[in-house]
Amino acid sequence: MSDGTVTLDAHQREQARTHALIDDLRALPAEAAWVEFKENNSDPELIGKLISALSNAARLADQHFAYVVWGVRDGDHAVVGTSFEPSATKHKNQPLDFWLSQCLQPAIAFCFKSMDYQGQRLVLLEIPAAATSPVEFERTAYVRIGSATPRLSDHPERQKLLWAKIQPYAWETGVAAQFLTGDEVLARLDYSSYFDLTAQPLPDNRAGIFDKLRADRLIEADVGGQWNITNLGAMLFAKNLNDFSPSIARKGVRFVAYEGTNRATTVTHRRDGQRGYASGFKGLTDYIDGLLPSNEHIGKAFREEEPLYPSIAIRELVANALIHQDMTITGTGPLVELFKDRLEITNPGQPLMKPDRFLDSPPRSRNEALASLMRRMRLCEEQGTGIDKVLASAELHQLPPPDFREEDHSVRAALFAPRSFAEMTQDERVRASYQHASLRYVSGDRMTNASLRERLGIAERNASQASAVIRLALDANLIRAGDPEHPRAGYVPYWA
């Protein structure tokens, strides 16, 4: 499938892309709201207003970037060159780019680039589109309308639309690799896994492959007939995450197994995930399963050959960590740790809801496109049912209740090795009661003394032990009587 393109180094690629970008911008029939052409006008105040206006206009136009080009005539887009030199320009005794950065809120990574183009010197200002809120210059947000740069607040219809565009903006739509040839895209993405996992036949031509990848927003067209791989495409189907920037590479799933019950003990196994989440998911979960000892307890809910932790619980918790992590937190990714007595799965980012409401609350995700594709590929359960499966499998195997908590701007889920009721802590017994009441409630039933005894493996002759746990859960306001007139008729979670 070679297209005969010579591989470029990073500098050559950047130069080639910039020239192709200028070609495409000049080919526009008129100035778009996210593009401005100038000759030598270098007024710093004007540039500051333009950055605000064009950044906001780019988001309104669903563009990743906006641009100002010095050295191209506005009317006919002819190349005339410029004498503007941003690196030598100062304003209020400060370098221009530093002064601009102090005046813009929120901070955005704009960039000046000087180049030779068709024998003339040009300057390109690349401006990221507004991502978290409208971009303001000196506390005022601007927008581009035709050739005018009015205050955004003077156009409430555009302000409302801009906020509507910003709110669902996702990290997934960002660009992981830019200005790639078709061959380079296919070399970096495990596209055959994409077709296998989505149950689609592999097209017999390049155009068909690219149409499908583009439809699922794994790639997008770049300037000059080249391609970009999106963050979504890289995270799900990278053959090697290290082929991308460190912000992508460090999102790989890391697995560490310890000999004992804490991180100070000897590390027995380590694996740093290098494949995309979708293409590497089965390999990761199989690897974890392969390291788990069998549960040798033989009882009502167990068979000797079953693994220590239910496979479905591991699968769902790993998938949840991938889907719900905060991708904007750099330098870290999902972490799976196996200890002698538990399995912990951690993902960066504060939870979008209280951990004790993971079971029943309407599902929310920071990464909707990633979550949607993973569900389509059956790598995780349908929306809202994953935690149900985790808790139900823990009950079936009579494991201590899983624990979900927020720690250091992360969410940590823990599965615990089998322990008898006598070996459980008071907190674990109460948590098991709350989770059991929640599971029963979402299934249209209520927790009773008898159902809790079965959940905790308490003999009928020791029913008072279950009653004591129920009283503790009531005192903690985690459960309540389903019918206050008949409290023994059963219990429901506090939120029911």
pLDDT in tens, 22-34: 999 999 987 689 9
pLDDT, position 6:
53
The average pLDDT across 217-236 equals: 96
pLDDT digits (tens, 9 = 90+) for 56-105: 999 999 899 999 999 999 889 999 999 999 999 999 999 999 999 999 99
Looking at residue 8, its pLDDT comes to: 62
CATH number of 250-419: 3.30.565.60
On whether the CB atoms of residues 17 and 178 are closer than 8 A, the answer is yes
Q: Which of 286-295, 300-309, 388-397 has the highest mean pLDDT?
A: 388-397
Q: How far apart are CA 15 and CA 80, in angstroms?
A: 20
**Closest by CA position to 397, among listed 275, 281, 308:** 308
Lowest mean pLDDT among 187-201, 221-235, 286-300, 396-410: 286-300
User: Sign of torsion, CA 271 333 363 405?
Assistant: positive
- pLDDT (0 to 100) of residue 487: 74
pLDDT value of residue 411: 95
Reading phi first (left if > 0) and then psi (alpha if -120 to 50, else beta), residue 123 is in beta
- Taking the C-alpha atoms of residue 471 and residue 474, their distance in angstroms, rounded to an integer, is 5
Q: DSSP character for 77?
A: -
Block residue for tokens 């209020």 = 92
pLDDT of residue 300: 47
Query: With the C-alpha atoms ordered 63, 67, 72, 73, is the resulting torsion angle positive or negative?
Result: positive
Q: What is the pTM of this model?
A: 0.82
Looking at every residue in the chain, the average pLDDT score rounds to 91
Query: What pLDDT score was predicted for residue 2?
Result: 44
> Which CATH number is 31-169 given?
3.30.950
Distance between CA atoms of residues 293 and 308, nearest Å: 6
Going by pLDDT thresholds of 50, 70 and 90, the confidence category of residue 303 is: very low
Establish whether domains 31-169 and 250-419 are of one fold.
Answer: no
Task: Please determine, for residue 363, whether its predicted confidence score (pLDDT) is greater than 70.
Answer: no
Percentage of the chain surpassing pLDDT 90? 77
Give the domain ranges of the chain.
31-169, 173-243, 250-419, 422-493
Q: What is the dihedral of CA 121, 122, 123, 128, to 10 degrees?
A: -150
- Whether pLDDT at 335 is above 80: yes
Q: Where are the alpha helices (DSSP H) in 255-405?
A: 277-291, 311-324, 368-376, 386-396
Banded model confidence at residue 486, pLDDT cuts 50, 70, 90: confident
Q: State the DSSP string of 127-186.
A: EEPP-SS--EETTEEB--BTTB--BGGG-HHHHHHHHHHHTT--GGGSEEEEEE-HHHHH
Contacts of 366 (CB under 8 A, 6+ apart): 170, 171, 324, 325, 326, 327, 349, 352
Question: CA 410, CA 348: separation in Å to the nearest integer?
Answer: 4
